[in-house]
Structure 1
Amino acid sequence: MDFLYVKALHIIFVVTWFAGLFYIVRLFIYQTEAEDKLEPAKSILQTQYKLMSKRLWYIITWPSAILASIFAFWMLYESPYYLSEPWMHIKLSFVLALYFYHGFCQRIYTKLQKDIISYSAFKLRMINEISTILLFAIVFLVTVKSAISWVWGVVGIVLFGVLLMLSIKLYKKIREKNSWDKTEKEVLENNDKN
């Protein structure tokens, strides 16, 4: 098979792998938030989220991770000179971190399938941003290769991560305020009726 076809397939499966990683943690968040619902909504939602998670994880995310890796090894076999490039070593370090993240998500998935909730929805939102940071790091390294300074790249990724975390905290505050406003409004409306 032509090298460019292998590269295209690698990119496609990297995209679907990341899509699965982004969405699986969202499902974890929804399943965790469903814990606060009243029955029967709680059971219905958690059952549905478990089913959605199982299908996403084993039909899209895991196969994409495996196929992205197969095509990556194939490219390295066809063009071993990539392994002599310094940017590739850094990229492979981020890919290794991505595999650890994938394994961490597997642990969360397994626990949630057994109704064991280990993380709050807020912590899961923070965890969800790890894949975003890894995506930015990997794409920038592959795109600009040696043109990027290692130090500036790391500083950029750290700053990006800090901005993401601050955005999540701001989002949480806005959500809590809107939730409080809604609750206060409902109380006032109920008082007016009485």
Structure 2
Amino acid sequence: MVYLYAKAVHIIFVICWMSGLFYMPRLFIYHTEAKDKSQEAFDVLHKEFSKMEKLLWWVITTPAMYITVFSALVMLCYSPGLLSMGWMHVKLTFVLGMIIYHFTCQKIMFKLSRQESKLTSTNLRLFNEVATVLLFAIVFTVVLKSALNWIFGVLGLLILSIALMMAVKLYKKYRNKKA
């Protein structure tokens, strides 16, 4: 029964964590684009975006990550046989990637707050898609579990990644035409 409660908590907090990881880079993009405004407008926007980023990060995203990891560890303690399965190794590799992505977001947040970030809004739009690709990889790995399906999954991820990069580039062209 503990396993099922841990699984429910895990699913709920994965959703919360991913919500934060999806929204945070959007805030980074808006924060970065605020530099194009007048100095007076930027000062106001910088203060507001820094506040929003910190609240989202420390109140939702980071606690959700820790609860997600903790509930996963509880599940693995109650069902250690999962660690002998190949698909779990693949999933945990992608989860490690998500954790690295999480702390990369934190680093960007600190740099934006100190006005030290050199990233452009286009760089951040591309960066924003990393969480999407990792989420797809994790979900497909957990659901499909077999090696043959991993091959199709990897091909699908490559196609998804290319499509997302093309969409970001097309959006940049569209924005440049509007400007």
TM over 0.5: yes
Specify the alignment match of 1:157 in structure 2. Answer: 157
With the length of structure 1 as denominator, give the TM-score of the two structures: 0.88
Runs ≥4 residues deviating over 6 A: none
Specify the alignment match of 1:187 in structure 2. Answer: none
Residues 63, 148 of structure 1: CA spacing in aligned structure 2 closer, same or farther, 3 A cutoff? Answer: farther
Specify the alignment match of 1:134 in structure 2. Answer: 134
Structure 1 CA distance for aligned equivalents of residues 12 and 119 of structure 2: 31
Q: Is the 8 A contact 2:34 2:45 kept in 1?
A: yes
Q: Is the 8 A contact 1:141 1:148 kept in 2?
A: no
Specify the alignment match of 2:13 in structure 1. Answer: 13
1:149 deviates by 2.6
- What does residue range 165-180 of structure 1 map to in structure 2 within 5 Å? 165-179=165-179
Task: Give the CA RMSD over aligned residues.
Answer: 1.2
Structure 1 CA distance for aligned equivalents of residues 148 and 33 of structure 2: 41
Structure 2 CA distance for aligned equivalents of residues 148 and 63 of structure 1: 36
Aligned residues: 179
**% identity of equivalent residues:** 47
Specify the alignment match of 2:59 in structure 1. Answer: 59
Structure 2 CA distance for aligned equivalents of residues 39 and 14 of structure 1: 38
Task: Give the aligned residue type for 1:34.
Answer: A
What SS does structure 2 have at the residue aligned with 1:62?
A: helix
Structure 2 CA distance for aligned equivalents of residues 82 and 112 of structure 1: 40
Q: Which whole-Å deviations, capped at 9, do the CAs of 1:144-173 have from their partners, x for residues lacking one?
A: 222753322212111110110001101111
1:80 and 2:98 aligned = no
Task: Give the aligned residue type for 1:65.
Answer: M
Task: Give the aligned residue type for 1:58.
Answer: W
Q: Is the 8 A contact 1:125 1:168 kept in 2?
A: yes
Structure 2 CA distance for aligned equivalents of residues 108 and 83 of structure 1: 33
What SS does structure 2 have at the residue aligned with 1:149?
A: helix
Specify the alignment match of 1:116 in structure 2. Answer: 116
